[in-house]
Amino acid sequence: MREFDTPDSLTSGVCRPGQNEIWFRVRMAFWDECHGVCTGVTNATPDTELQPEWANPDNPGGQKRELLLATSSAVSDNVMAITGRHELGHVLGFAHEHERFDLADPGCTPKWGWRTLTPPDDLSIMGYDSCDGIANNQPRLSPYDRLGAFYQYTWARRHALMMGGGSSIENLAYDSSGRAGIAWHRPWDHEIELWTSAGSPGEPLEFHASHHCLSGNQGACKGDVVEHARQRPSPLFASGMAADLDVLMLGPGVGIDDVIQNNKNGIFQPQPIAIDGYAIPVIGSFEHDIDDELLLYRPGPEEDTLVVFDADGGISSLPLGYSDYAIPLVGRFRGFGGGGNDIIWYQPHHNTLHVWQWQNFESFEFWENGPDDAKSIGLSPLTEYIPILGDFNGDTFTDMFWYAPGRVTDWLWESASTQEAILFSVFPHDVDGEYRPFVGDFDGDDIHDILWYAVADEVDGVNSVIWYFDDKGGHDVRIFTIHGDYTPIIGDFDDDGCSDVLWYEPTAEDGSSPLWRCLPGERDFACDPPVIHPSQGYPIGNGGAY
């Protein structure tokens, strides 16, 4: 980026790296491939995601996908919206929703034994509206469509920024120094590659890398690629110090081991942990201490489990139960005055909120409130919202920004909570557009800001924007033009109190990713030399707003 960027200009961030990698292919179908009532079709669903060939009827285990669109899908924006989103749902592995209604029509009857993620949904984009029980003409994802994708693809993320001011945890730190780092899950190499930031504030950013076998062994790393690739890693403070975070390796379903990679001074050792079936990991400090507990949330009526980690390395559990289908939002909504992280359960289909307010006078006791109608505090029914957690006025209380992509009113909920009750002051906002939001402190004032990231080349006139919040909840705006599709990794890597950005580009031909170093107090960045990122690596704890 430094070749194309001018850090002191209004549009700092301009660059044009090449985009040459294709993960799935979209093309118009030939006549005999999709015609008649067919408007689109996706190739065979694979048995595993690991086989490298194109999936087709002769190779149902292929990794690469192909989406075919018939010319009839182009007759209107509405038909294209329905067809494109429905077929992309198949690319992600989702089955036809109408098959859940046990209908007699041959085109609507069940064909497969899929695992259910949410209740039967008449509004689903994955249903044929020609089948009984499916609502007609649904050109958008339903709340349960989005919730199912959240359950399947959003792994637990530690909200490290939420801990600033009340503990030493302000970034993801792994080597006991307290400096922000990045832990890369590299299943094909059977390892965690640990990056520790080095250098002093004001100097170009650099990282020191170390390699740690998932088996705990020294030397060449070995193991089961299928098992390692399917394990889902999440940062977790289970033992040791806040400055050497552990990693939960959750194996979904049966036949895949569940493991905690216990970290001591940047050295990982695996500890098996027995977790049955499928569960959504909800990580937070639910007692009055700062170390974590693990809530294994099983959406629906199935019993949930709270896993507790003892100082001596022991693991215990107790049953809990949230019997609905919701997104769990974990934060210090009441600050650091007492109790632990609270959970706000957002049920998008019914548009309701349910609160678990954890106390500090009995172990893992909480007050339960709700469900309450979210419409009474601004959230519209059947509307897509992305809840963004941060401290947007610098009072150490967790606030929430409810972002609704497109031309829909967005809402900032500033925490006005007491130790007895979770309360919010509600303010309307207008983001007006489709962005990927990322939270950080991009000017070093101890108040969280939001990077609204959009690829400038996708839509004419679209730029990325940073909202710099102040202590009153207001914000200033600065525009950044970003050419290229990246996964921003946010962290204060040089320990100057200002959030830097690694623009992770896993498909870059030269294997490098641009690096922006935040300039405290200037609301701008210096473009440091790009860094070579690990191949086939996942940056643990990154990739989601909540």
* 25 φ/ψ angles, rounded to the nearest 5 degrees: -115, 140
CA distance linking residue 58 with residue 2, whole number of Å: 47
Q: What is the 3-state secondary structure (H, E, C) of 26-81?
A: EEECCCCCCCCCCCEEECCCCCCCCEEEECECCECCEEEEEEEECHHHHHCHHHHH
Q: How far is CA 482 from the centre of its chain?
A: 21
CA 238-488-335 angle, to 5 degrees, is 45
Write out pLDDT tens, residues 447-482.
Answer: 999 999 998 877 777 889 999 999 998 999 999 989
What one-character DSSP code corresponds to residue 99?
G
Residue 426: what pLDDT?
95
CA distance linking residue 345 with residue 370, whole number of Å: 9
The average pLDDT across 433-458 equals 91
CA distance linking residue 55 with residue 110, whole number of Å: 22
Mean pLDDT of the chain: 83
CA distance linking residue 403 with residue 535, whole number of Å: 33
Residue 112: what pLDDT?
66
Residue 361: what pLDDT?
62
Nearest CA-CA partner of 410 in 436, 441, 388: 388
Residue 170: what pLDDT?
58
CA distance linking residue 213 with residue 91, whole number of Å: 32
**Which regions of 223-274 does DSSP assign to beta strands (E)?**
232-236, 246-250, 259-264, 267-272
Nearest CA-CA partner of 327 in 387, 391, 279: 387
> CB-hemisphere CA count at 13 Å for 17?
25
- Inter-residue contact 131 to 107 (CB < 8 Å): yes
Most confident among 56-60, 101-105, 501-505 (mean pLDDT): 501-505
Residue 499: what pLDDT?
93
Nearest CA-CA partner of 238 in 161, 341, 310, 346: 310
CA distance linking residue 183 with residue 491, whole number of Å: 12
Residue 156: what pLDDT?
67
CA distance linking residue 342 with residue 359, whole number of Å: 9
Q: Which residue has the tokens 């949230």?
A: 322
Write out pLDDT tens, residues 172-229.
Answer: 888 888 888 999 999 999 999 999 988 888 899 999 999 999 999 888 999 888 889 8
* 104 φ/ψ angles, rounded to the nearest 5 degrees: -85, -25
Residue 54: what pLDDT?
58
Residue 162: what pLDDT?
53
pLDDT > 80? residue 546: no
The average pLDDT across 266-278 equals 89
Nearest CA-CA partner of 298 in 326, 273, 318, 317: 326
- Inter-residue contact 211 to 534 (CB < 8 Å): no
| Phi-psi domain of 360 (left: phi exceeds 0; alpha: psi -120 through 50; beta: other) | alpha
pLDDT > 50? residue 20: no
Kindly provide the b/e burial profile for residues 199-212, where b requires at least 16 CB atoms within 10 angstroms of the residue's own CB. beeeeebbbeeeeb
pTM value is 0.87
Residue 13: what pLDDT?
41
Residue 2: what pLDDT?
31
Nearest CA-CA partner of 492 in 420, 427, 444: 444
Q: Which residue has the tokens 């909920």?
A: 413
Nearest CA-CA partner of 279 in 311, 252, 319: 252
Structure tokens at 60: 């149902």
